[in-house]
Amino acid sequence: MSPVLRLLMRRLGISLIVLIGVSMLIFAIARIIPGDPARIALGPNATPEQVTNLRAEMHLDEPLVLQYGYFLVDISRGDLGTSLYTNRPVTLDIAQFLPATLELVLVAGIIMVALGLPLGILAARHRGRWPDHLVRIFSLLTVSAPSFVWAVILMLLFAFYLPIFPIAGRISDIYEIERTTGFLLIDTLLAGNFTAFGDAFRHLILPAVALALSGIGQAARLTRANMVETYDKPYIEMAQAYGFFPSRIARIYAFKPSLIPSLTIIGLDFAAMLGNAFLVEAVFAWPGLSRYGVAVILRKDLNAIMGTVLIIALTFLIVNIIVDLLIAFLNPRIRHSTRAN
């Protein structure tokens, strides 16, 4: 078995254990709710009989371990229960709202990598001089405000004062796009409607940048720190002695070994962005999972809350596996090793 494949198997195994742990944690959170979940679900006008019936249906009178067992069986069948807020299966709701959030987070992730890594390289190449100081101040500033503050500031500057970008939403109302994947950037292209694609893209820029900002700062900082360490290595000195261009040394010899720790932080930043999407979506009225999440939380809609958290945790686990595989693939010591460790 190839080492990368073996690593994949190992990671999948660990992820499964972690996922079971996550389900326990979510179950525990759902059970610390003050009051009777059945009564909350039925509202104040329910008769005692209705409450008794629903308690039986929700297995609330049985021991906690059994209740958790039922929960585990349900989720392993892909059944997250019915939402009290929309009266539809939670899986359907999530399938409807998740693509908008994923699209936002993925584009933010691309922006983060596309800006964060080059900024880090720039700072490391000119370490101790003004580009380095500028990048340092920029990184510290971007991680110093929650993304909803950046969202508000970007919106004020680039949607109100300089009306370059639309204020809110995912796409202008005039476009009717048939839903196939739920990703508007893909759906508009599938429909062959390029003006709609441009419109959706313009809607995406401000929320994605607001979401990416703190990640850009962190990625730049970490890349710089790792590269500065690499610059002290003898092989860099040798490359310099050979008279290679500084830009080539930076890109190839100093950057490549630093990419691996940077990728790890990018995986973590992705998690942060899945959470921060809640904030950015609220500012830009983005019709994603967050709006659904906040709505179901305000209604104490337990099934929907548990389902949403579970799906977000699952998404994050998958991203982390991808990041780990990418690292294994990029790192020749793992790629060519006989033992994956």
The binding site for another protein (CB under 8 A) comprises: 14, 17-19, 21-22, 24-26, 29-30, 32-34, 136-137, 140-141, 143-146, 148-149, 152-153, 155-156, 160-161, 221-222, 225, 271-272, 274-276, 278-279, 282-283, 293-294, 296-298, 300, 302, 305, 308-309, 312-313, 316-317, 320
Nearest distance in Å: CB 30, another protein:
6
Nearest distance in Å: CB 193, another protein:
31
Listed residue (222, 282, 226, 273) closest to 250, CA to CA: 226
Give the whole-angstrom CA distance, residue 254 versus residue 12.
32
Nearest distance in Å: CB 84, another protein:
13
Q: Of the two residues 159 and 186, which places its CB atom closer to another protein in the complex? A: 159
Those residues with Cβ within 8 angstroms of residue 52's Cβ, 6 or more apart along the chain or in another chain = none
Nearest distance in Å: CB 152, another protein:
5
Cβ–Cβ < 8 Å for 256, 249: no
Token pair, residue 326, equals: 């990418």
Token pair, residue 307, equals: 């389902």
Listed residue (52, 61, 59) closest to 74, CA to CA: 59
Q: Of the two residues 160 and 245, which places its CB atom closer to another protein in the complex? A: 160
Q: Of the two residues 191 and 295, which places its CB atom closer to another protein in the complex? A: 295
Q: Please report, as a single letter, which amino acid is at residue 115.
A: L
What angle do helix axes 130-142 and 194-231 make, rounded to 10 degrees?
120
Q: Of the two residues 189 and 272, which places its CB atom closer to another protein in the complex? A: 272
Q: Of the two residues 299 and 335, which places its CB atom closer to another protein in the complex? A: 299
